[in-house]
Structure 1
Amino acid sequence: MKTLVLAEKPSVAKSLAQVLGASPVSRHAYENQQYVITWALGHLMTLKMPEDYRHEWQEWTFDTLPLLPKKMETKPLPKTRGQLKAIQQLTRRSDIGTAVIATDAGREGELVARWILAYCQFKRPVKRLWISSQTNKAVRDGFKQLRPVQEFDDLYAAATARATADWLVGLNVTRALTVKYQDNLAAGRVQTPTLGLIAQQEAKINQFKPQTYYELQLNTKAGTAKLATQKQLNLDQVTKIQAGLKGRSFQVTRCDTKKRRQKAPLPYDLTELQKDANLRYQFSAKKTLNLLQTLYEQYKVVSYPRTDSKYLSTDLKATMSERLAALGGYSVTARQLLAHQQTVQQKQVFNDQKVTDHYGLIPTEEMPPVARFSNDEQKIYQMIVDRFLGLFAADYQEEQRRYQLTAGQYQFHLTTAQVLVAGFKGDQVQSVVAPQWQVNTTVTGQLNYKKCLTKAPAPLSEATLLVQMDKFGLGTPATRAEIIEKLINSGLMLRQGQHLATTPKGQQLLKLVNPSLTTPALTAKWEQQLEAIAHGQLAAPQFIQQIKQETQGLVREIKQSQADYHDFNLTGKRCPDCNEPLREKATRQGVLLVCSNPNCHYKRWRDPKVTNHRCPQCHKKMIILTGTKGDYFKCTHCNLTQPVEQVKQQRKPNRHETQKLLKKINQDEEPQESALAQALKAAMQQK
């Protein structure tokens, strides 16, 4: 009997096939004497839509709300039915004895596989491949230590509960808002409080009033000392103190010496890596995750990306030297550590109790193919390597000396630091030897004052938003990047340089939606409960029943709301068919102007679209416009116009279309059976 292996993506299935020695046998599978390997394409299944449960739920009215199915059911996604059908056929093969779930080792990966196997009604034994890297060694070891799928039932229950909660809250609140205010207003269990974090920071900035103050400084040979004061000084106060101290010397009245030790930072988890990549390279959270997935799946040089842990399990101690050796051709520091047979100095990194589903991000035992890395992939890989190599380095140590300099009733404070051991910081720090004073030493220096201005809170960037989402438990490391992108794509939030800001539509939504959904408290509580379900500490039906009750309350609040609504997407332009205002609608191709009258179907592009169609006169790219007679091309250089339909009729077929046409012609020209041959065949069949 053979084992059916279900991977999450074609690329992962190909990697598994290479390790297990399977060859492609169709467009949908690899196979050998022991394994049949196939793949999903992410989610092949989804929860049914309201109209799939009841026909009357198809209507967007308050009469049908709230939508509360007795049992949540799934259905195939239409665009990937072909792959799902192929998997279904494989599960029905008589030579398939067991299945192995090899989707991503996390909550969503578990959901993907379980829904597919349930749809296929697969009743034979199922096991789980649970690995934290895609190296050949990790895959081989993982298949030797396959785990019973029942060990992950709680994880599957948490994933199902999460999907159910998102369906109940998202669909009901979105429908209620849309029906109430007659506009497309989408709200969600996680995305709305995330938008609220941006709005709260903007409110703090708008309410901030800058104030001017002055600092009095004493410049000495050891550095700059500042006047110790509990209040902010104005110009008159600081000049008066400066005048009173002019020409005076200062006495060292106190000297505190303290040695400070700093350990190397732990390996990255996904959230911190996304934060640092945004600060250092201005990468979006989504971009960082995509780069990381490539390093994990294609190059197999980093461990599992979607981790929320910074610690390593104790069984990894034996692999650290091998991982370091793989970096020998990549990093000078790694070669030096290998030459000195250096071991991990930061012992606290090994902690089984602090490792969740996956350990922190570290390099694998695979030698990195640096020549194949893109520039951005190289940056992310280097960040992970630097953290990893820091584990082999000593602690950073410095000696801090804090002085109190006194003249009359005034004290100035000065702190100096001298590096004792550079440790993991290496060349990042320079040791400056400052004069060391004793108590009663006389010190002189230059007095001056500095004009300062209180700073407003900084707008949230993706880096600081990720920190806030992590703090309040909004989403998971695997979903936060997608949440940010969804808010931007839906027109509720936008990027302004390196910062994030709410749009007028986003600000309007936060005023209309239920107050409990605009703050992270409620959603953070739900995320904690989902984690409890994943660890077997809470029953999923109990959580779902609570979500249903809260959904009823949310819909009731929207129905009773008296909030005013202003459609920020309405423009001053009028529909040429019914004279109603046109509404802007953002799409991937640009902004559409759509008639606000629900019974009118007029729409056109707001901005001229540049096409690949060339002007027959000047050969420049033409734009496409919409007129009373339909779409037409226009050249902005020579003003030539061409109806789109006319161009389509005149267009020559491309290479692919030509080959397809020739194939059809050749088939049509193949000799057919003659009438005599058909008669003979019929006579033979009658015998």
Structure 2
Amino acid sequence: MKLYIAEKPSLGRAIAAALPKPHQKHDGYIKVGGGDVVTWCIGHILEQSEPEAYDSVYKKWQLEHLPIVPSEWKLTPKPGTRKQFTAVKKLIKQAGTIIHCGDPDREGQLLVDEVINHVGVNSDVKQRVQRCLISDLNTSAVKQSLSLLKPNSDFSALSISALARSRADWLYGINMTRAYTLQGQKVGYKGVVSIGRVQTPLLGLVVRRDLELENFTPVNYYEVNAHIISATQPLFTAKWKPSDACLPYCDSEGRVLNKGLAENVIRRIHGQPATVKHVEHKKKKQGSPLPYNLSALQIDAAKRFGMSAKVVLDTCQSLYETHKIITYPRSDNRYLPSEHYHQASGVIEAISQNASLNTECEGANVALKSRVWDDKKVGAHHAIIPTSQHHKGVLSRAETQVYELIAIQYLMQFYPSWEYVDGVVELEIAGGSFITKARNTTAKGWKALLKEKVKTASGSGNNKQSSNSLPDVAVGQVLTCEKGELLDKQTQPPAPFNDASLLAAMTGISRFVTDPDIKKVLKETDGLGTEATRANIIELLFKRQFLKREGKTIRSTEIGRGLIASLPEIMTLPDMTAQWESSLDKISLKEQNYIDFMSPLQKSLLDLVGYASCNLPIGLKGLRHTKSNQFKSKRKSTKKAHKRAKPQKV
């Protein structure tokens, strides 16, 4: 018997639909033609066992037990999925050939691998396990994926990486949560002090931003604009560029802090000749942005529609599993395999049927081939794009909004480059330098697909020309400064986090790291968390009452601030956890092994537990978590399940 194991029921049904008939539906599986069987997990149907599964003494939380480090790791069937686990286990024992059909990512690989390993199969069957990567649930696409099976052993590094992440999270979360919960009780904190290697540094980012906002003192600074006229040119303005002699009166960003200095410049340039010293026009072009990965999609949906990361993820899952009109959504990749290029016409036709984008589809030129089609940059999964499926039902408002974002980003690949001219004019007035800049679009290209008009951007910190063009002047030409204008400004505090900026912070975490060596490493990683986990981590911080919403902004609560104030700095910064992600990526690429990742972590736990034991979390004194009992009930519900756990070795 051939056994296909999917990650979830919807994928199992899609696989069965692509296999020969007749089909017989059973409890937990589908029997297809030829006697083969399709079954499924329900996400992770196994979970890391609680500490008391290793030793009953751990039922009572005590500092002297820490750190708890299992010598042989145990997995336990989740209480809510035990029935399905029993069905899958029975089928695995009967199978002669197993096809692993987990989602095409790190967690999807581990999710099915851990079930196969936990159940136990003979070495011959295990060596013959095959891997099927499915990113499109439409029957034709599933059939194609089933025809392109690979040895499951090719993906072992991906599974080990996910396993290392799972165990590291357990070690860090269990030990730190117990340590600080026990210490919190000593200062009167009522509740479990939840600590996580991603959630806690993320909370630290928000807390530090909030404190920076509250302690921010605005500083006045001054700019000078020269209003230029001539007999043949319309009025335009140019911004004063302070010379090196003015630097003692400027801040680190070159802003003039001395009002008298700016006023003196205005007096000096009034009615004076303005000589053109430099004129430059640079023709430039920019290709279309790549299709979305999950984080980029979540950021754009937050900016445009105010959607939370969780809402975007849930909407994507519906578009993928229920409607089948987008590809696998939990992707961290923004490239497409070359074979997809030949499906473009069918995808564009489907977009025209599924969304109100007829004009945009008609303008797409499938003869164009953007940089997105690159097999070398496609991993286990590719960018999120529409499928060729024609949707016959009705989409919700959120589904329509997210689908159209994905569709437009895909259509951009078949539009020409955005072309523009960047221009600069530099003037000399009374010995001072004045500059005006403008950007003029000459061909909209893919920007024609954007809802908003293409904006004409002046250079950073420079004035915009109302005419959207530079004055037509030549080097050596003498114009006149009609007058100077003083612009009295204030430095602005950083904006509080919102859904879009917090996600952007997680993906671009290197911006928040000061150590140059760590910053360099982090620029090469995906940041805090993964595409599949970021939304849930943010929601968890709300659930723990560490974060709250104020309108569209995300702020830290009193409990959240108290926790960060009570922890050693290393636990509240992104450095450590982002380095973990870098190591996990290296494990998945076979550039680092499991032991080299886990050994330093286990040693660092000793130091962290020691610190917690000697330092009370004063910041939590007298605070109370209003839902503290939920943690106790959760532990009780899993108590019996832990007794049946089996050991699992690396």
Tell me if 1:417 matches 2:439. yes
Whether the 8 Å contact between 1:569 and 1:585 is mirrored in structure 2 is no
1:23 partner amino acid: H
Structure 1 residue ranges without an equivalent (≥5): 571-582, 595-687
Q: CA deviation at 1:430?
A: 7.6
The 3-state SS of whatever aligns with 2:528 is coil
1:192 to 200, 216, 220: 200
Deviations 1:504-533 (A, max 9, x none): 211221232333211111111111111111
Name the residue aligned to 2:288: 264
Name the residue aligned to 2:459: none
The 3-state SS of whatever aligns with 2:437 is strand
Distance 2:546 2:429 in 1: 57
Tell me if 1:69 matches 2:70. yes
> In 2 relative to 1, CA 110–335 (structure 1 residues): closer, same or farther, beyond 3 Å?
closer
Whether the 8 Å contact between 1:267 and 1:311 is mirrored in structure 2 is yes
Q: CA deviation at 1:103?
A: 2.0
Name the residue aligned to 1:80: 81
1:361 to 362, 384, 394: 384
Distance 1:185 1:133 in 2: 41
Q: CA deviation at 1:483?
A: 0.9
Name the residue aligned to 1:224: 237
> In 2 relative to 1, CA 222–422 (structure 1 residues): closer, same or farther, beyond 3 Å?
farther
Whether the 8 Å contact between 2:42 and 2:81 is mirrored in structure 1 is yes
Tell me if 1:429 matches 2:454. yes
* Alignment of structure 1 residues 503-518 onto 2, 5 Å: 503-518=557-572
Name the residue aligned to 1:319: 343
2:532 to 463, 478, 490: 478
* Alignment of structure 1 residues 409-558 onto 2, 5 Å: 409-426=431-448, 428-429=453-454, 432=468, 435-439=471-475, 440-443=477-480, 445=482, 447-472=484-509, 473-558=527-612
> In 2 relative to 1, CA 441–299 (structure 1 residues): closer, same or farther, beyond 3 Å?
farther
Name the residue aligned to 1:382: 404
Q: CA deviation at 1:210?
A: 0.2
> In 2 relative to 1, CA 367–272 (structure 1 residues): closer, same or farther, beyond 3 Å?
same
The 3-state SS of whatever aligns with 2:618 is coil
Deviations 1:601-631 (A, max 9, x none): xxxxxxxxxxxxxxxxxxxxxxxxxxxxxxx
The 3-state SS of whatever aligns with 1:458 is coil
Whether the 8 Å contact between 2:273 and 2:479 is mirrored in structure 1 is yes
* Alignment of structure 1 residues 90-489 onto 2, 5 Å: 90-93=91-94, 96-123=95-122, 124=125, 125-182=128-185, 183=189, 184-219=192-227, 221=234, 223-229=236-242, 230-232=254-256, 234-329=258-353, 330=355, 331-337=357-363, 342-346=366-370, 348-369=371-392, 372-426=394-448, 428-429=453-454, 432=468, 435-439=471-475, 440-443=477-480, 445=482, 447-472=484-509, 473-489=527-543
The 3-state SS of whatever aligns with 1:524 is helix
2:374 partner amino acid: N
Name the residue aligned to 1:671: none
Whether the 8 Å contact between 2:437 and 2:470 is mirrored in structure 1 is no
Distance 2:155 2:338 in 1: 22
Distance 1:69 1:9 in 2: 30
Tell me if 1:585 matches 2:620. no
Q: Percent identity?
A: 29
Distance 1:101 1:28 in 2: 16
> In 2 relative to 1, CA 22–215 (structure 1 residues): closer, same or farther, beyond 3 Å?
farther
Name the residue aligned to 2:643: none
* Alignment of structure 1 residues 2-21 onto 2, 5 Å: 2-20=1-19, 21=21
Deviations 1:208-259 (A, max 9, x none): 2101233222345364322222542555444443344334453323212211
The 3-state SS of whatever aligns with 1:42 is coil
Whether the 8 Å contact between 2:282 and 2:422 is mirrored in structure 1 is yes
Distance 2:482 2:377 in 1: 51
Q: CA deviation at 1:118?
A: 2.9
Distance 1:210 1:500 in 2: 22
Q: CA deviation at 1:77?
A: 1.0
Name the residue aligned to 1:31: 31
> In 2 relative to 1, CA 265–178 (structure 1 residues): closer, same or farther, beyond 3 Å?
same
1:65 partner amino acid: L
Distance 1:66 1:304 in 2: 39
Whether the 8 Å contact between 2:3 and 2:38 is mirrored in structure 1 is yes
- Runs of 4+ aligned residues of structure 1 deviating over 6 Å after TM superposition are none
118-127 vs 306-315, greater mean Cα deviation: 118-127
Distance 2:303 2:628 in 1: 29
Distance 2:537 2:544 in 1: 11
1:137 partner amino acid: S
Q: CA deviation at 1:462?
A: 2.4
Give TM-score scaled by structure 2 length.
0.82
Instruction: From the two aligned structures, give the one with the greater strand fraction.
Output: 1
Whether the 8 Å contact between 1:4 and 1:38 is mirrored in structure 2 is yes
Deviations 1:36-76 (A, max 9, x none): 22222112111111111111111101121111110111011
> In 2 relative to 1, CA 514–24 (structure 1 residues): closer, same or farther, beyond 3 Å?
farther
Whether the 8 Å contact between 1:44 and 1:80 is mirrored in structure 2 is yes
Distance 1:207 1:174 in 2: 30
> In 2 relative to 1, CA 148–327 (structure 1 residues): closer, same or farther, beyond 3 Å?
same
Q: CA deviation at 1:460?
A: 2.1
2:474 partner amino acid: Q
> In 2 relative to 1, CA 175–259 (structure 1 residues): closer, same or farther, beyond 3 Å?
same
Name the residue aligned to 1:615: none
Whether the 8 Å contact between 2:563 and 2:619 is mirrored in structure 1 is no
Q: CA deviation at 1:453?
A: 1.3
Distance 1:396 1:521 in 2: 38
Whether the 8 Å contact between 1:223 and 1:416 is mirrored in structure 2 is no
2:529 partner amino acid: G
Name the residue aligned to 2:648: none
The 3-state SS of whatever aligns with 2:204 is helix
1:112 partner amino acid: L
The 3-state SS of whatever aligns with 2:18 is helix
Distance 1:140 1:3 in 2: 16
Distance 2:41 2:616 in 1: 47
Structure 2 residue ranges without an equivalent (≥5): 229-233, 243-253, 457-467, 510-526, 633-650
Whether the 8 Å contact between 2:272 and 2:480 is mirrored in structure 1 is no
* Alignment of structure 1 residues 613-628 onto 2, 5 Å: none
Name the residue aligned to 1:57: 58
Q: CA deviation at 1:135?
A: 2.3
The 3-state SS of whatever aligns with 1:584 is coil
Distance 2:328 2:181 in 1: 40
Whether the 8 Å contact between 1:187 and 1:513 is mirrored in structure 2 is no
The 3-state SS of whatever aligns with 1:349 is coil
Q: CA deviation at 1:164?
A: 0.6
Whether the 8 Å contact between 1:308 and 1:356 is mirrored in structure 2 is no
| Structure having greater relative contact order (Cα 8 Å, sep ≥ 6) | 2
Distance 1:512 1:152 in 2: 41
The total of aligned residue pairs comes to 571
Distance 2:601 2:197 in 1: 10
Whether the 8 Å contact between 1:222 and 1:434 is mirrored in structure 2 is no
The 3-state SS of whatever aligns with 1:241 is helix
Distance 1:585 1:328 in 2: 48
> In 2 relative to 1, CA 304–144 (structure 1 residues): closer, same or farther, beyond 3 Å?
same
> In 2 relative to 1, CA 457–30 (structure 1 residues): closer, same or farther, beyond 3 Å?
same
Distance 1:181 1:418 in 2: 60
